Structure 1
Amino acid sequence: MRFIHTSDWHLGQTLHSAERGLEHQHFLDWLIIALEQQQADALLIAGDVFDNANPSASSQKQFYRFLQQAKARLPKLDIVIIAGNHDSPGRLEAPGPLLDGMDISVIGMVPRLTDGSIDITAMVLPLRQNDEIVAWCLAVPFLRPGDVPRVENASDPYMTGIAQLYKDVTAHALSLRQPGQAVIAMGHCHMVGGEISEDSERRIVIGGTEALSASMFGNEITYAALGHLHLAQRVGKQEHLRYCGSPLPLSFSEVDYQHQVLCVDIEGDKLTQVTPLHVPRTVQLLRIPKQAAALPTVLDALDGLDLASITDASKGRHYDPYLEVRVKLEAPEPGLRARIESYIEGKPLRLLKIDTHYPGKAQDDNSDEQATQDTLDRLQPEDIFRRLYHGKYLQDAPGDMLQAFGELLHGEDTQ
């Protein structure tokens, strides 16, 4: 069988002042063509469909229109969607009754039986080729502390609970699997060794756990389709444990990423090939210059841009590149933005960000003394809680308190 692995669409995202709907629509149109060209049997979307838990009506309409069009073009396509940490599990699952009859499965939250226990069976889904089951998919959404089984006397209850849940779901899939059928895992999480994009990926530290071990996926897993990290990468250099990455650069720090989806081929229960399909970039992102420089040098770099090679005037202003300018200053310059905007006036550029650097400024975004606005934007609630606790009691917050704070914080996302 052949399936497409994608994740981290972040529909509805705004990059500084720029709304990304046009870029996302180009990606979705491209993806439908790719599904047809590759003759895919399934599409796996590994979380963060939307950029926030309360997506706009337009981004929701964009998503469900895509699903309708994909099924119209490929009627036998299986689609499996799991929630990421940016998604609202309940909101993502709400249209489930309408989608069930279309071979579209959405797992937003960990399903429960009437007695409150976890319904393992609901997270194991068949994948078909020509109406015949060829694989079983473990559809595990982003796991919050209240989602995982309680494991007595565990040093890290959250991480141990996640490992136990994956073990239980895998065991159920193996009980269903017939000879020659593959087992495909889906998850939205941060695995040990994964390279993150600090500007756009929300850290998911809960109870002190920063990343999960790849040992959660045993040898019986043919392929693990992961979401959360925006850079396409293997986990532990293992071919079958993959992040596909985001289809769009979601911050200027991702300007050099090769954005892609992955086309995965499986023969029986064996992985045979993983082929990146590179997503065309509708709107270019420019960091000028690559390293911060004095303003005259920056202006020279802007003059040296070959805009004709990256812009098409016939398409209109909405396709003009986004620009981040990186400037070294001796002191704050209040009129800097107006000066740069005046300099690029008439050029097909949209200035979104000015990244300023000062003499002696340590480029360490975790330094309290260097807390610029961008640094504050990247601080997560867990970071602030840790700092406040340490400032008051002059010691690190205990693990059980971090666990309780994580449950309180992430529990809000389930509404």
Structure 2
Amino acid sequence: MRLFHTSDWHLGQNLHGQERDFEHSSFLDWLLRQLKQEQPDVLLIAGDIFDTVNPPVKAQEALYDFIVSAHEQQPLLTIVMIAGNHDSGARIELPAPLMRRLRTHALGRVLWLDDGQLDAERLLLPLPNASGAIGGWCLALPFLRPAEVTGAQLGDDYLKGIGQVHERLIAAAEAKREPGQALIAISHAHMAGGSISEDSERSLIIGNAEALPASLFGPSISYVALGHLHKPQKVNGEERIRYSGSPIPLSFSEIDYKHQILDVRLDGETLISVEPRLIPRAVHLQRLGPAPLAEILLQLRQLPDIDLLADEQRQPWLEVRVRLDEPQPDLRQQVETALQNKAVRLVRIAAEYAGNRTGDNSEDGAQLIELDQLSPQELFSRAWHDNYGSEVDEQTLKDFAVLLQDVQMETEQA
């Protein structure tokens, strides 16, 4: 059996206010060509399909157009997608009855039966191979929110609740499968030891509770397709537990990532190989600095001029980082003047001041940190320190985490 492992598409994402529709469209077109050429049995999409719980219509159209096109060109392809922490589980599942006709399974939530047992059947999906026989079973584990794995019957320990979900689902899968059938888990989570990017991955849960142990996936699981971390990587060096990473750089901290999908091959229950397939970058991200203003302006003037015959949509996104001794009220004007007729698109100017303060430039030079660079947890911690003059304690952070999750779930249901 052969699988393509992808994750973190983040359809509808903006880069400092600039739409990424062209880049996402380029990726989806490339993926369609790969599917047609290689004919895998299964496509896995491990969460964060959209960038927000209420994605723009264009982003939703892009997803469903892709699914229809993939089914039309490869009718026997099975697609499994799960909700990530950026997604609304309810929204992901809403068109599920229609998508099943396209051999696509959409799982957004875990549900519990009246007797307190996990509804494992809806999370266990048959994976037919090229001959039509069931070559394996997919254990679909969408992002597990605290409200879904804690409560009167499960207790208040988030990690323990997650462990129970995994144990019960794996036990159900082992009871269902026949000899020679592989168990493939797809999950959206932050595994302990995973390497995160600087500013584009939303923290899942405050404190150490967000990092899940790889031991949740025992040796009976042939392969674990993970989503959430944007950098492709193995977990603890294990060949069978992988993050495929995001298909495009979602922030300037991801410029050097080798964006890819993973081509996974199995022989029965045995994992044979995991090979990366590098994704062509439709639009490059370019960062200049940090350097003194005079040096930055010189570098800007040396950038290539606009080619009138070239596609403007492929011009690089540019971030400029300037090192200043004091605020420059006309900084943006100086930068934009130096960039006239240059084949780049400026999306951000950041200033670094004496004292190691870093942030986005404003006209008066007063704004030093962008709010979108800070997680809700970091904002809360800063506000606590400003008001009380001390670091926030762990229990208060956990209480804030619960409130934050409640707000996010209310947003999904709105």
| TM-aligned CA deviation for residue 208 of structure 1 | 5.3
Checking the alignment, whether the CA contact within 8 Å between 2:320 and 2:348 is kept in structure 1 is yes
User: Which of these residues, 365, 372, 389, is aligned with residue 368 of structure 2?
Assistant: 372
Paired amino acid for 1:352: V
> Which deviates more, 124-133 or 145-154?
145-154
Would the alpha carbon gap of residues 357 and 385 (structure 1) be closer, same or farther in structure 2, given more than 3 Å must change? closer
Instruction: Measure, in 2, the Cα distance between the counterparts of 1:117 and 1:167.
Output: 12
Q: What RMSD in Å do the two structures reach over aligned CA positions?
A: 2.5
2:363 alignment partner in structure 1: none
Deviates more, 1:54-63 or 1:394-403: 394-403
| Partner Cα separation in structure 2 for residue 66 and residue 387 of structure 1 | 42
Q: Percent identity?
A: 45
**SS in structure 2 opposite 1:296?**
helix
**2:341 aligned with 1:340:** no
The one-letter code matched in structure 2 to 1:147 is: E
The one-letter amino acid paired with 1:404 is: V
Match runs of 1:296-375 below 5 Å = 296-305=294-303, 307=304, 313-361=308-356, 372-374=368-370
1:209 match: secondary structure: helix
Establish whether residue 267 from structure 1 lines up as the match of residue 267 from structure 2. Answer: yes
Farther off after superposition, 386-395 or 316-325: 386-395
Give the secondary structure class of the aligned counterpart of 1:43: strand
CA distance in 2, matches of 1:95, 1:179: 33
Which residue does the alignment assign to 1:201?
201
In the alignment, the residues of structure 2 paired with residue 150 and residue 90 of structure 1 have an alpha-carbon distance, to the nearest angstrom, of: 20
Instruction: Tell me if 1:234 matches 2:260.
Output: no
Between the aligned partners of 2:307 and 2:341, the Cα distance in structure 1 is: 14
From the superposition, tell whether residues 295 and 362 of structure 1 become closer, same or farther in structure 2 (CA, over 3 Å): closer
Give distance in 2, aligned partners of 1:238 and 1:56: 37
Question: C-alpha separation between the residues in 2 aligned to 1:220 and 1:407?
Answer: 32
1:72-83 to 2 correspondences below 5 Å: 72-83=72-83
Which residue is 1:47 aligned to?
A: 47
For 1:107, the aligned partner's letter is: L
Q: Contact 2:223–2:240 (CA<8 Å) still a contact in 1?
A: yes
Q: Which residue of 2 aligns with 1:56?
A: 56
Query: For the structure 1 residues 240 and 69, does the alpha-carbon distance in structure 2 shift closer, same or farther, using more than 3 Å as the test?
Result: same
Q: Secondary structure at the match of 1:219?
A: coil
Query: Which deviates more, 355-364 or 231-240?
Result: 355-364
CA contact (8 A) 1:149 1:164 kept: no
Q: Is the 8 A contact 1:182 1:222 kept in 2?
A: yes
Query: C-alpha separation between the residues in 2 aligned to 1:408 and 1:232?
Result: 31
Structure 1-normalised TM-score? 0.91
Q: TM-score scaled to structure 2, two decimals? A: 0.91
Count of residues paired in the alignment:
404
1:17, distance to aligned residue in structure 2 (A): 2.7
* 2:369 aligned partner, one-letter code: Q
- The answer for the alignment partner of 1:168 in structure 2 is 168
Q: Over residues 121-148 of structure 1, what are the superposed CA-to-partner deviations in whole Å (9 max), with x where a residue is unaligned?
A: 1101111112210011110100100111
Q: Could you tell which deviates more after superposition, 386-395 or 328-337? A: 386-395
1:168 is paired with a residue whose SS is helix
- Measure how far apart 1:364 and its partner are: 11
Secondary structure of 2:355's aligned partner: coil
CA 1:215–1:221 in 2, change beyond 3 Å: closer, same or farther? same
Aligned-partner SS, 1:398: helix
Q: Give the counterpart letter for 2:298 in structure 1.
A: D
Give the aligned residue type for 2:44. L
CA distance in 2: counterparts of 1:234 and 1:152, whole angstroms? 34
CA contact under 8 A between 2:67 and 2:102: conserved in structure 1? no
Q: CA shift at 1:173, angstroms? A: 0.6
Higher mean displacement: 67-76 or 387-396: 387-396
Q: Distance in 1 between matches of 2:300 and 2:25?
A: 29
Give the stretch that moved more between structures: 258-267 or 114-123.
114-123
Distance 1:321 1:76, change over 3 A: same
Provide structure 2 residue ranges, at least 5 long, that are not aligned to the other structure: 361-365
Q: Which moved more, 1:135-144 or 1:311-320?
A: 311-320
| Whole-Å separation in 2 of the counterparts to 1:48 and 1:192 | 19
Distance 1:355 1:388, change over 3 A: closer
Counterparts of residues 13-412 of structure 1 (less than 5 Å)? 13-113=13-113, 118-129=118-129, 130-150=131-151, 157-206=157-206, 209-289=209-289, 292-305=290-303, 307=304, 313-361=308-356, 372-374=368-370, 376-388=371-383, 391-392=387-388, 396-398=393-395, 401-402=399-400, 404-412=402-410
Q: Which deviations, in whole Å up to 9, do the C-alpha atoms of 1:249-278 show, x marking residues without a partner?
A: 001111111111111011110111111111
Distance in 2 of aligned mates of 1:180 and 1:109: 29
1:359 CA drift (Å): 1.9
